[in-house]
């Protein structure tokens, strides 16, 4: 029996991958709907090992998907919902073209809604899975919560993001889960720890919104992501509130409902209402108490019996326990020029009470004249009216105290003082190749002098002095040896002269041989041996290359990727150092130019 010849690309990578055009044809969807369903289901293009085989011999670079993923989409019920929406859109367009506005309003009223809650449950079977993937969700939801009413972003979507983000921040405050914070040009970086999972996200600064053109940002794709993330964040908030014995949904202010149109127009009113909502305690379930304190860490014997790791875990648990109640019993008053939202969030997370001027913003809990206020946060050089019973500090003290996990001394953060550098706490101490700015090195090492990363003039001068000392030392040793050799030669000559006087009757040939022997035995000035400065480095490199050849063949690709990563990190550190050096040089030039300008103005004023 003759076997059939196998068709080319019917197996292997040729059958594993499918182009986007073939996927659209198989699913019978438009490109817009295909993108939407891929975002909702979490299906992304794949990179094959051999692109030519995956593209069935076709040239160029095409967008490829796994064939299994596309077959998986065939059984998704949401595809039928997309087709139903497409039918309604055609009916609405037809009614508008025929000027049948009554029928058009009916279609708009009966427009079907798409529910994606089953997709959330499918993608995240457990609560921990959802927490692991919450970083991008929070970042995008906080970004959309700052958007005004845009053409391509539905208004109810921004309102939903505002409500869900405030609910999540309330849950973090109740759980006291905040661990790190950093103020950047992009916004405020926050890191919390929930259910043993570390979650980091960015909250952008509140600036006036600049409209973007469609070419710069595709709001439609971002809106599709937000459609899924709002449903996911709603589930997460529900679970968090019930685990903290809180009533869900919480009763927030009127700015988070679609009925209040004034809050949608006035951004200041929205921000004020949002901060006022964070300063209010949430209602708890009947019969429930406050969150219980974490018990002391249990000590279990490990396989390696590493006591150091156990001690480190104990210290970390103690620091976290103190951090949760760092501001407990302290009252803070925020001046009107200070950004209130991050400070209210931080102070409330660690047990403090906060308020502001009730004449400017809503939600104040106590007045400025309250004598029990411990810290007054200001961001101006001076104030006319001051109270002796409180400290007047700058906002950075709160952020640095949170990262240090203790109340820092306030002498460097007083009103009008030059602030210390605000360093990022998001550094991995386990990595050996990490760029450390000079300010951080100065804080870690008191003997470190903050100089430029490249050797400065003073360092070069010190190095040159050391070289001169090293060069002079062998010369002095050589002079001493030459003097000793000269003295020894004189003694030998004297002895030989006395021997010649005593032995006049000896043979002249013997005298000549004896003189030659004495000259050969004489000590002469030695020449110092100079080693090649890079000889040891060259030998080490040669030995390292020999060791690299001993790497097994199956581990060679892994080793190459490790070396490539090391080189990449080196390049990143070099670029950061270069940027820092250029920035320092620019600042120096600006200061010099400012001084020259001031001198010129003073000279012109004196001569006028």
28-39 pLDDT tens trace: 889 988 999 999
Q: In the prediction, which pLDDT does 462 show?
A: 39
What is the number of residues in the chain? Answer: 608
Band the pLDDT of 301: cuts 50, 70, 90. Answer: low
In this predicted structure, which of 30-44, 214-228, 511-525 has the lowest mean pLDDT? 511-525
Q: In the prediction, which pLDDT does 298 show?
A: 54
Top-ranked range on mean pLDDT: pick from 108-117, 130-139, 268-277, 278-287: 130-139
Placement of tokens 């009008």 in the chain = 416
Distance CA(241)–CA(251), nearest Å, equals 13
Distance CA(281)–CA(320), nearest Å, equals 23
pLDDT at 436 over 60: yes
pLDDT at 261 over 50: no
Residues whose CB is less than 8 angstroms from the CB of residue 91 and which lie 6 or more positions away in sequence, other chains included: 107
Q: In the prediction, which pLDDT does 474 show?
A: 43
Distance CA(203)–CA(186), nearest Å, equals 8
Q: In the prediction, which pLDDT does 151 show?
A: 72
Mean pLDDT of the chain: 80
Q: In the prediction, which pLDDT does 239 show?
A: 93
SS3 state of residue 198 = strand
Q: In the prediction, which pLDDT does 67 show?
A: 92
Band the pLDDT of 10: cuts 50, 70, 90. Answer: confident
pLDDT at 378 over 80: yes
Q: Who wins on pLDDT, 206 or 2?
A: 206
Mean of pLDDT values over 555-573:
89
Band the pLDDT of 288: cuts 50, 70, 90. Answer: low
Render pLDDT for 77-90 as a digit per residue (tens, 0 to 9): 888 888 888 888 99
Q: Are 285 and 247 in contact (CB under 8 A)?
A: yes
Distance CA(514)–CA(535), nearest Å, equals 44
Which long-range contacts (C-beta less than 8 Å, at least 24 apart) are formed by 239-246? 239/127, 240/168, 240/171, 240/175, 240/194, 241/167, 241/171, 244/171, 244/174, 244/175, 244/291, 245/284, 245/285, 245/288, 245/289, 245/291, 246/170, 246/171, 246/174, 246/282, 246/283, 246/284, 246/285
Q: Are 146 and 263 in contact (CB under 8 A)?
A: no
pLDDT at 254 over 60: no
Q: In the prediction, which pLDDT does 258 show?
A: 44
Q: Who wins on pLDDT, 258 or 104?
A: 104
pLDDT at 303 over 90: no
* DSSP H stretches of helix in 146-216: 155-175
Q: Are 337 and 376 in contact (CB under 8 A)?
A: no
pLDDT at 405 over 50: yes
Where in 223-309 does DSSP place strands (E)? Answer: none
Q: Is 248 left (phi over 0), alpha (psi -120 to 50) or beta?
A: beta
Q: Given the DSSP bridges, would you call strands 17-19 and 64-66 parallel, antiparallel or unpaired?
A: antiparallel
In this predicted structure, which of 115-119, 243-247, 284-288, 349-353 has the lowest mean pLDDT? 284-288
Render pLDDT for 457-513 as a digit per residue (tens, 0 to 9): 333 333 344 444 344 444 444 455 556 566 656 665 665 555 555 444 457 788 888
Instruction: Tell me which DSSP letter residue 433 carries.
Output: S
Return the percentage of the chain with pLDDT > 90, whole number: 25
Band the pLDDT of 522: cuts 50, 70, 90. Answer: confident
Paired tokens of 287 = 């019969």
Q: In the prediction, which pLDDT does 240 show?
A: 92
Distance CA(309)–CA(317), nearest Å, equals 12
Q: In the prediction, which pLDDT does 395 show?
A: 92
Distance CA(59)–CA(77), nearest Å, equals 35
Q: Which helix (H) or strand (E) holds 545?
A: helix 535-549
Q: In the prediction, which pLDDT does 456 show?
A: 39
Q: Is 124 left (phi over 0), alpha (psi -120 to 50) or beta?
A: beta
Distance CA(357)–CA(174), nearest Å, equals 25
Q: In the prediction, which pLDDT does 84 show?
A: 87
In this predicted structure, which of 2-11, 123-132, 317-326, 490-499 has the lowest mean pLDDT? 490-499
Q: Are 525 and 479 in contact (CB under 8 A)?
A: no
Please tell me the pTM assigned to this model: 0.73
In this predicted structure, which of 359-363, 469-473, 544-548 has the lowest mean pLDDT? 469-473
Mean of pLDDT values over 131-146:
92
Per-residue HEC secondary structure of 381-407 comes to CCCCCCCCCCEEECCHHHHHHHHHCCC
Q: Backbone phi, then psi, for 593, in 5-degree steps? A: -65, -40
Q: Are 294 and 324 in contact (CB under 8 A)?
A: no
Closest CA to 414 of 446, 449, 379, 384: 379
Q: Are 144 and 209 in contact (CB under 8 A)?
A: no
Number of helical H runs and strand E runs in the chain: 22, 9
CATH for 330-426 is 3.40.50.10190
Mean of pLDDT values over 124-151:
89
Residues whose CB is less than 8 angstroms from the CB of residue 115 and which lie 6 or more positions away in sequence, other chains included: none
Render pLDDT for 415-431 as a digit per residue (tens, 0 to 9): 888 888 888 888 776 66
Paired tokens of 281 = 């305690």
Distance CA(273)–CA(341), nearest Å, equals 11
Residues whose CB is less than 8 angstroms from the CB of residue 89 and which lie 6 or more positions away in sequence, other chains included: none
pLDDT at 300 over 70: no
Q: Which helix (H) or strand (E) holds 418?
A: none
Q: Is 299 left (phi over 0), alpha (psi -120 to 50) or beta?
A: beta
Cis peptide before 249 (omega within 30 of 0): yes
Band the pLDDT of 274: cuts 50, 70, 90. Answer: low
Distance CA(332)–CA(398), nearest Å, equals 10
Instruction: Tell me which DSSP letter residue 209 carries.
Output: P
Band the pLDDT of 270: cuts 50, 70, 90. Answer: low
pLDDT at 380 over 80: yes
pLDDT at 347 over 80: yes
Mean of pLDDT values over 99-109:
90
pLDDT at 360 over 80: no
């Amino acid at each position: 029996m003759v076997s059939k010849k196998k068709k080319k690309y019917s197996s292997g990578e040729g059958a594993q991958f499918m182009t986007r055009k073939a996927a659209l044809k198989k699913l019978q969807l438009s490109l817009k709907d295909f993108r939407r369903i891929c975002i909702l289901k979490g299906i992304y293009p794949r990179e094959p090992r051999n692109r030519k085989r995956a593209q069935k011999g076709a040239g160029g670079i095409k967008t490829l998907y796994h064939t299994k993923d596309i077959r998986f989409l065939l059984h998704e019920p949401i595809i039928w919902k997309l087709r139903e929406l497409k039918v309604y859109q055609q009916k609405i367009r037809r009614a508008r073209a025929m000027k049948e506005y009554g029928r058009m309003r009916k279609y708009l009223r009966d427009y079907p809604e798409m529910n994606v809650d089953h997709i959330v449950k499918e993608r995240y079977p457990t609560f921990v899975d959802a927490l692991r993937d919450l970083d991008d969700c929070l970042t995008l939801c906080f970004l959309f919560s700052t958007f005004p009413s845009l053409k391509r972003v539905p208004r109810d979507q921004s309102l939903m993001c505002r409500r869900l983000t405030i609910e999540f921040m309330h849950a973090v405050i109740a759980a006291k889960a905040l661990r790190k914070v950093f103020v950047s040009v992009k916004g405020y970086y926050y890191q919390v720890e929930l259910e043993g999972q570390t979650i980091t996200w960015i909250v952008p600064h509140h600036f006036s919104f600049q409209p973007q053109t469609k070419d710069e940002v595709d709001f439609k794709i971002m809106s599709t992501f937000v459609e899924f993330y709002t449903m996911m964040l709603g589930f997460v908030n529900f679970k968090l509130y019930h685990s903290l014995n809180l009533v869900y949904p919480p009763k927030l202010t009127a700015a988070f409902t679609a009925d209040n149109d004034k809050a949608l127009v006035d951004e200041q009113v929205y921000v004020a209402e949002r901060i006022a909502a964070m300063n209010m305690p949430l209602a708890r379930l009947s019969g429930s108490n406050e969150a219980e304190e974490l018990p002391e860490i249990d000590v279990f014997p490990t396989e390696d019996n590493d006591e150091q790791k156990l001690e480190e875990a104990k210290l970390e648990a103690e620091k976290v326990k103190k951090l949760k109640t760092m501001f407990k019993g302290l009252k803070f008053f925020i001046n009107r020029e200070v950004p209130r939202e991050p400070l209210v969030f931080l102070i409330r997370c660690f047990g403090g009470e906060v308020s502001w001027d009730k004449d400017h913003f809503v939600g104040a809990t106590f007045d400025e004249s309250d004598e029990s206020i411990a810290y007054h946060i200001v961001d101006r050089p001076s104030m006319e009216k001051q109270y002796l019973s409180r400290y007047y500090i700058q906002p950075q003290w709160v952020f640095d105290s949170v990262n240090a996990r203790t109340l820092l001394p306030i002498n460097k953060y007083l009103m009008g003082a030059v602030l210390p550098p605000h360093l990022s706490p998001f550094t991995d101490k386990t990595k050996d190749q990490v760029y450390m700015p000079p300010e951080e090195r100065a804080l870690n090492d008191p003997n470190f002098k903050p100089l430029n990363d490249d050797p400065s003039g003073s360092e070069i001068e010190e190095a040159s002095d050391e070289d001169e000392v090293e060069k002079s030392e062998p010369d002095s040793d050589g002079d001493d040896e030459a003097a000793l050799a000269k003295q020894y030669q004189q003694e030998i000559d004297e002895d030989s002269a006395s021997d010649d006087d005593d032995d006049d009757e000896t043979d002249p040939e013997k005298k000549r041989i004896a003189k030659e022997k004495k000259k050969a035995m004489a000590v002469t000035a030695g020449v110092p041996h100079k080693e090649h400065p890079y000889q040891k480095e060259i030998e080490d490199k040669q030995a390292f290359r020999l060791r690299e050849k001993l790497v097994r063949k199956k581990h060679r690709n892994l080793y190459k990727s490790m070396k490539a990563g090391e080189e990449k990190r080196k390049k990143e550190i070099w670029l950061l150092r270069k940027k820092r050096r250029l920035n320092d040089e620019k600042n120096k030039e600006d200061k010099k130019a400012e001084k020259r300008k001031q001198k010129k103005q003073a000279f012109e004023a004196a001569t006028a």
